[in-house]
């Protein structure tokens, strides 16, 4: 089971479907992370768990239980909204767990993505890892401190990529390993 944890410093729990980046303070990135984590052509990756941590909430998506997931941003934003309103669809769970508690609970080897890290090709990849990603602003100082203590810093590209693109690249390394 591969786990992804995405932390957003800006995203909001209230947003307009017709303005996800503005009204949701870049919740569009988190929607695309759901797509990247689970969507295959005509299939869902069942061996993935994704946590989105933002605005004091953590939304957990469990691949093998997911239903009604469509790959489009608006469809995923509707799933997130339903979950936040207390009507989650199967496989989606909302809690008030902090990012740091989510990290500590994963019980897996923590790999956090940072362009200054060691290249992923040097990492002995296992399906049983937890990959941690920041948003367009990166990790804040407090999160960074914890990650430095418990995780390994890995780079996946010489370019700085969006979190949803990073998930695709990590999947490709895992799929090929």
Smallest gap from Cβ 41 to a second copy, in A, equals 4
Residues in region 139-158 near a second copy by CB under 8 A:
156-158
Smallest gap from Cβ 38 to a second copy, in A, equals 11
Shorter beta-carbon distance to a second copy: residue 152 or 165: 165
Indicate whether 62 belongs to the interface with a second copy (CB under 8 A).
no
Shorter beta-carbon distance to a second copy: residue 94 or 154: 154
The answer to whether 38 and 48 have CB atoms below 8 angstroms apart is yes
User: In the stretch 81-120, what mask flags binding to a second copy with x, by CB under 8 A?
Assistant: ----------------------------------------
Six token digits for residue 54: 């933002």
The set of residues, in sequence order, having a beta carbon less than 8 Å from that of 45 and lying 6+ positions away, is 37, 38, 39, 63, 171
- 85 CB-side CA count, 13 A: 10
Question: Counting Cβ atoms within 10 Å, is residue 153 exposed (0-12), middle (13-18) or buried (19+)?
Answer: middle
Smallest gap from Cβ 164 to a second copy, in A, equals 9
Question: Cα separation of 150 and 104, whole Å?
Answer: 9
Question: Cα separation of 68 and 90, whole Å?
Answer: 8
3-class secondary-structure state, position 2: strand
Residues in region 41-60 near a second copy by CB under 8 A:
41-43
Binding-site member from 28, 33, 54, 147 for a second copy (CB under 8 A): 28
Binding site for a second copy (CB under 8 A): 17-18, 20-21, 28-29, 32, 35-36, 39-43, 70-75, 121, 136, 156-162, 165, 168-169, 171-172, 175-176
């Amino acid at each position: 089971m591969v786990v992804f944890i995405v932390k957003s410093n800006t995203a909001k729990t209230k947003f307009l479907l017709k303005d996800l980046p503005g009204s949701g303070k870049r919740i569009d990135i988190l929607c695309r992370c759901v797509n990247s984590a689970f969507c295959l052509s005509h299939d869902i990756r069942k061996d993935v768990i994704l946590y989105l941590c933002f605005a004091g909430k953590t939304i957990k998506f469990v691949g093998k239980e997911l239903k009604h997931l469509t790959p489009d941003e608006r469809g995923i934003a509707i799933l997130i909204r339903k979950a936040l309103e207390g009507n989650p669809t199967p496989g989606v769970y909302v809690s008030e767990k902090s990012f740091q508690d989510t990290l500590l609970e994963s019980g897996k080897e923590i790999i956090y993505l940072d362009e200054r890290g060691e290249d992923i090709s040097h990492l002995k990849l296992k399906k049983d890892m937890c990959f941690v990603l920041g948003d367009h602003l990166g990790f804040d100082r407090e999160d960074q401190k914890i990650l430095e203590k418990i995780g390994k810093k890995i780079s996946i590209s010489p370019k700085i990529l969006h979190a949803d693109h990073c998930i695709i690249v990590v999947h490709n390394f895992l799929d090929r390993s």
